[in-house]
Structure 1
Amino acid sequence: MTTGRPGLREQKKQATREALREAALRLALEVGPDNVRVDDIAEAAGVSPRTYNNYFSSREQAIVAAVTTERETRVAAAVIARPASVGLAEAVVEAIVEQYAGQPDGAPDALLLITTNPALRTAFVDSATTIEHPLADAISHRLGDTDPQAARVLAASVAAAVRIALERWVLPTSATTGFVVLSGSLPDLLRTALAPLVPALEAAEGCGAS
């Protein structure tokens, strides 16, 4: 897994993505997410609506991206950064908890915005799927590229567990009112959701070492 400095084109793409997600969150906080149009976000970021659609499929996705801020990359980097003496299962669980337990950018306003809007809650929960491919690369790196398919399966399972934990965390207390009370400790929910995957992660590491 490469960690070198990205090329100029990739840097420009990253800058555009950052400008779009920051504009989306700023507008959502100013006028409310339901009053933000894709055209407004694109204009605020200085790009065309067509360019916007190359990066995000909806306004909700852009707003949530401002809160999660490349979390998938940070999770993968954290897994790789764990020393070899730390087992794969511990490396993955601790990386997930570490990167999800921190306060999002603009917290608590950004978090309140997400938890009080059904469409944003859904986008926030669905954002867990973005960790799958970078995490698969990180797991494959730690296993020595012995079984890329196993790494993909493990990463997909971890992403699903994270999604379940996030879903429980932002679950509305009432189907009629949609009022949300954050349910318990997110780190605890993540650890509980990931616990059934620990034996599989340990077994994969054992196979790689044999």
Structure 2
Amino acid sequence: MTTGLRERKKAATRQSLHDAAVRLAAEHGVEHLTVEAIADAATVSRRTFSNYFASKEQALLHRDRAHTVRLVELIRARPARESLMTAVIGAAEQHSAEFATDPAQEEGYRSLRLHPALLPELVATYAAAERDLAEAVEERLPAGPDTPLRAQILAATLLATFRVVGQTALERRERDAVDLLRQAITITREGFH
């Protein structure tokens, strides 16, 4: 129980730092965002900030990392008998239900995260997500000499698909992107035939 409480407190502090970073970046611009300002806004010390994030960019992009980590967890939690695509769709449905957000708020966040100063951290975030997803994908593929390569290619393709689906859903102001994901996976499958 103590571990659970401790983990919830850590998650709450991490989220508070992220929320402060997003709010301050929206108000003053990414280029004026500082670690000190984020820590002050979240009412924690600079040292506490450093226990959670290595940089202001990491704090600002925490949502991306948290969402991809959770998606990988959900894929891994799907029954082993499911095909990779069934597991991905099932995980995406659950993920969508867990992370339902206001489209206007999501649009504001997406605009912030495209700031050129955040590009290196965004690339690092998605590289880590791709590695994690490749491991989860590999667990569902039949073992063979090309399995690691297949897993990496499929993970990269899935992440690109998630990104396009997310952007399309945002542009269309759709709250449920799972149908778009199904369409995108079908298009991807057909495109390789």
TM-score, normalising length: structure 1: 0.58
Q: How does 1:29-108 map to 2 (within 5 A)?
A: 29-66=26-63, 68=64, 70-92=66-88, 95=91, 106-108=105-107
Checking the alignment, whether the CA contact within 8 Å between 2:137 and 2:155 is kept in structure 1 is no
Q: How does 1:118-197 map to 2 (within 5 A)?
A: 118-131=116-129, 135=133, 138=136, 160-161=156-157, 191=185
Deviations 1:42-86 (A, max 9, x none): 1111211122122222212211114x2611332123213434442
Q: Which runs of 5+ in 2 are unaligned?
A: 166-170, 172-179
Alpha-carbon separation, structure 1, partners of 2:74 and 2:37: 35
Alpha-carbon separation, structure 2, partners of 1:25 and 1:63: 6
Alpha-carbon separation, structure 2, partners of 1:104 and 1:151: 36
Alpha-carbon separation, structure 2, partners of 1:89 and 1:51: 40
Could you say which structure has the higher helix fraction?
2
Q: Give the letter aligned to residue 46 of structure 2.
A: P
Q: 1:160 to 1:80 in 2, by over 3 A?
A: closer
- Could you tell which deviates more after superposition, 21-30 or 6-15? 6-15
Percent of residue pairs bearing the same amino acid type: 35
Q: Quote the offset at 1:96 in angstroms.
A: 6.3
Alpha-carbon separation, structure 2, partners of 1:46 and 1:94: 38
Alpha-carbon separation, structure 2, partners of 1:151 and 1:18: 36
Alpha-carbon separation, structure 1, partners of 2:148 and 2:16: 31
Deviations 1:135-184 (A, max 9, x none): 467557768xx98xx99877655554466668999xxxxxxxxxxxx9xx
Q: Quote the offset at 1:9 in angstroms.
A: 2.3
CA RMSD of aligned residues (A): 4.4
Q: Which runs of 5+ in 1 are unaligned?
A: 170-181, 199-210
- Number of equivalences: 174
Q: 1:82 to 1:14 in 2, by over 3 A?
A: same
Checking the alignment, whether the CA contact within 8 Å between 1:79 and 1:95 is kept in structure 2 is yes
Alpha-carbon separation, structure 2, partners of 1:152 and 1:112: 34
Q: Give the letter aligned to residue 16 of structure 2.
A: A
Alpha-carbon separation, structure 1, partners of 2:3 and 2:127: 23
Checking the alignment, whether the CA contact within 8 Å between 2:138 and 2:151 is kept in structure 1 is no
SS in 2 for 1:54: helix
SS in 2 for 1:11: helix
Deviations 1:78-110 (A, max 9, x none): 21343444213542476469859x886721111
Q: Give the letter aligned to residue 110 of structure 1.
A: Y
